[in-house]
Structure formats: structure tokens, C-alpha cells
Amino acid sequence: MVDHRLVYLDSQATTKLDPRVLDTMMPFLTEDYGNAASRSHDFGWVAEKAVDHARETLAAGLGAKGREIVFTSGATESNNLAILGAARMYQGKGKHLISAPTEHKAVIDPLKRLESEGWEITWLDVDAQGRIDLDQLRSAIRPDTVLVSLMHGNNEIGTLHPIAEIGAICREAGVLFHTDATQTFGKEEINVEAMHIDLLSASGHKMYGPKGVGLLYVRRRNPRVRLEPIQFGGGHERGMRSGTLNVPGIVGFGRALELCLENRAEEQARMAALRDRLQQRLESELDFVQVNGDQEHRLAVNLNISFAYIEGESLIMGIPGIAVSSGSACTSASLEPSYVLRAMGVGDDLAHSSIRFGVSRFTTEDEIDYAADRVIAAVRRLREMSPLYEMALEGIDLNSVQWQGH
């Protein structure tokens, strides 16, 4: 009998909308459907008040002021606005930017666009855990450096960068610091003042809120950050992001953060325990597995693991009904091995065999055990068909084998 049970373990790609968030959003989809920019009647005033409340809630979660929050369609737009907007606004100072090769494509691609337009990008090295060297960052900053963009938590491997230390280095050097906090907002402790963050991107759908809404924190004082807009028409959001506000989405985003902060420590601990349970099962029952990323400084919800001598895509096909990903969901149409793992020095064979598991507040222990059983069985089945696995068991160093060419 085929088991058709569905288990969702892909929370870095997106999370389920919390039903309590949907309840908060519903009135703004049905009765209170006004435009927050319509200031001549009750419908608009109700919408504006709801947006203001969400703005203050989200700002407080960052240690910021409501006026420093710019609403966007998601973290991809926020990253583009931060990077393109800051680079173009401050190009009089210089055209040098700093980032890392393990960033999300929503940071890498705008940087590459600027590179094609004449900006110079320094890509910092990362170690085998995906962490940067703070001394290399210090020495990379130049008089013409405008912006450093480094993510808080990595979407593929879960590694956390030391954001406070990075912020301190940038502040001391008089350089703007942008962080993509898409994976950490609402989950990890963030304070833009204490961490010297000037620009920060986040998204609703990674924290049990709706898709299609995000924010960009833009510092107003010490220093005041100004951005060249990338979207025009109407001058909404202090002129930085024109367009009718997504009122139901914004309301849901604010409520999602409230729920995250209600019992964050307990929720984080519970999810980390589920992740560790899965990791322990896989490591104890399978040989030739490698956990990717920093095992100390990492997201509570993330487990990225390589199963040597099988293809990640084959494994995914071998566990139907279990939602996981290989590489980043945004780039999974490509058959290239993960660029994040490559940057960390993981070989193509292991990079091709990596799977990302992501637990959430809705994940149960029973689901973890079921997924572990299915994954272990599928890996064993695939390895039975692998001559490379057989050779490895016999102690043959596959790197030393002279393969016969045609």
C-alpha cells in the first residue's frame, strides 16, 4: 500500500499562513477595503490606521521607528531598492560595494547589474561553514566604499553572520550596512541600533504571514540614509516606493510578527529540537552524510545535509509527499550544483547530493520521524544501485581512481 501522507519541510522557501494571521486580514479583504492613501473618507482612514499600527509593530520588532519602515512587495524588492537605491544615491562618494558569494540571488543579481554599469564589487571569501572573515571585511573597505550587504541568516545552509560585529566595522568606517534578514526577522534577536544596521530587508511569508508583502528599514538618523527610488508614481512611502499599499498583506505582516514575538524563545527551542532530532536520526542510521553550514551559529529551523553517492534530485523523487528542496527554491530549475555550497568549497558531487530540510511552528515530532524513515529508506535504496557507494564501502579512495575514458 502506497503512503500518500504529505509532510511540509521547506520552511525556508515559504511558511504556512498562520490561521490567526488570516483572521486579522479578512476584514481588510471584505469590509474595510479602502485605499490607505484615500484621506477623504472613512474607508481610507480605517485602512491608514491599520497600516500605521502594523508599521509601528514591525518597527518595534527591529528597535526602529515607524517612519523608518518602507513597505514593499517582498524581500526581493527590498533588496533591490536598498542596493540599487543606495549605490545610485551615493555614487558621488564612490562606486565600490562589498558582499559575499553566498547571498541570496535577490542581492547578488542587483549587485551584478551595478557591476555591468561600472560599479566595482568585492566578493568576500567564506569558510567551510559559510562564514566571512571579519578581518577580510575590514581590509576590503576603501575610501570609495558606499555599501556593505551581508545577510543575517543564510536561506540554504542556515549559517548566521555576526551582524553586530559587521555593523560595528561598517559604522566605524563610515560605510552603510545593509542586511537581508528575510530568514531571521521575528525569529532571531535583531536591534538596528545596537547592531548598527542602516538598511534591512524582510518578508512576510517567511514568518507565517502572507506572500506579496515585505519591508525595507531605512535609517533616518545617525546617519540619515537616502535612496534613489527604483519605482515611480505617486510618491508613496516617503517617495521611496510608489504604489498602492497592500493593506491586507501589511496588516497580516504586523500580526505575524506579534505572534512570532509572543513566545519566541520557546518556539525557537522547540523547532531546534525537531531539527536536531531529524539530524540525529539521519547521521546515526546512514553513513557518508555531511551537514552543511555552521552547526553552532545557525537558524533553528534549518538542516542542510549531503548524502554522498546519490543525486539530490533522485532522492527528492524517491520521497514523494515530503516537501524538501535541493539548492535554493528560487534557482532550482537549474541543474547546476548549489552556488552557496560551491562557495564554501563543497565538491560538486556532495553539492549535487544536498537536501535542505526546514521545520516550522506547525511541524510535529511524528512528521519528523516519518520523514526520517522515508529519507533513510530512499537513500539506502538508491545507494544499492550505486557502484561508487560499493567502492567507498570497500575503502577505495574514489579521488585516486583513474577512470577509463572512451
CB of 120 within 8 A of CB of 95? yes
Residues 309 and 223 in one domain: no
Whole-number pLDDT of residue 25: 98
- What's the chain's average pLDDT? 94
Residues 91 and 153 in one domain: yes
Residues 151 and 169 in one domain: yes
Residue appearing with cell numbers 567502492:
391
Q: Which residue has the higher pLDDT, 20 or 391?
A: 20
Write the pLDDT tens digit of every residue in 49-86: 999 999 999 999 999 999 999 999 999 999 999 999 99
Question: Cα(91)–Cα(145) distance, rounded to whole angstroms?
Answer: 9
Out of 330, 377, 396, 398, pick the active-site residue: 330
- Which long-range CB contacts under 8 A does 217-222 form with residues at least 24 apart? 217/59, 217/62, 217/64, 217/68, 217/69, 217/70, 217/192, 218/68, 218/69, 218/70, 218/82, 219/68, 219/192, 220/65, 220/67, 220/68
Closest CA to 89 of 263, 282, 246, 223: 223
Q: Do the bridges between strand 145-149 and strand 96-99 make them parallel or antiparallel, or are there none, so unpaired? A: parallel
Residues 281 and 190 in one domain: no
Q: Quick one: average pLDDT of 348-368?
A: 95
- Coil, helix or strand for 397? coil
328: pLDDT confidence band, cut at 50, 70 and 90? very low
Confirm whether 404 is domain-assigned.
no
Residues 55 and 204 in one domain: yes
Domain that holds residue 293: 7-15+263-395
Write the pLDDT tens digit of every residue in 130-139: 999 999 999 9
Residues 309 and 243 in one domain: no
Residues 286 and 246 in one domain: no
Confirm whether 405 is domain-assigned.
no
CB of 65 within 8 A of CB of 59? yes
Q: Is the pLDDT of residue 270 over 60?
A: yes
* Active site annotation includes 330: yes
Residues in the chain: 406
Residues 272 and 250 in one domain: no
Residues 101 and 194 in one domain: yes
CATH of the domain at 329: 3.90.1150.10
Write the pLDDT tens digit of every residue in 252-262: 999 999 999 99
Residues 235 and 332 in one domain: no
Residue 131 phi/psi, 5-degree rounding, is -100, 150
Supply the DSSP symbol for 363: -
| 326: β partners | none
End-of-domain residue from the set 224, 246, 262: 262
How many domains, the chain? 2
Write the pLDDT tens digit of every residue in 89-148: 999 999 999 999 999 999 999 999 999 999 999 999 999 999 999 999 999 999 999 999
Question: With pLDDT > 70 as the criterion, what percentage of the chain qualifies?
Answer: 95
389: pLDDT confidence band, cut at 50, 70 and 90? confident
End-of-domain residue from the set 262, 281, 307: 262
Confirm whether 403 is domain-assigned.
no
Whole-number pLDDT of residue 390: 87
Confirm whether 161 is domain-assigned.
yes
End-of-domain residue from the set 215, 236, 262: 262
| HEC string for 241-297 | CCCCCCHHHHHHHHHHHHHHHHCHHHHHHHHHHHHHHHHHHHHHHCCCEEEECCCCC
Residues 314 and 223 in one domain: no
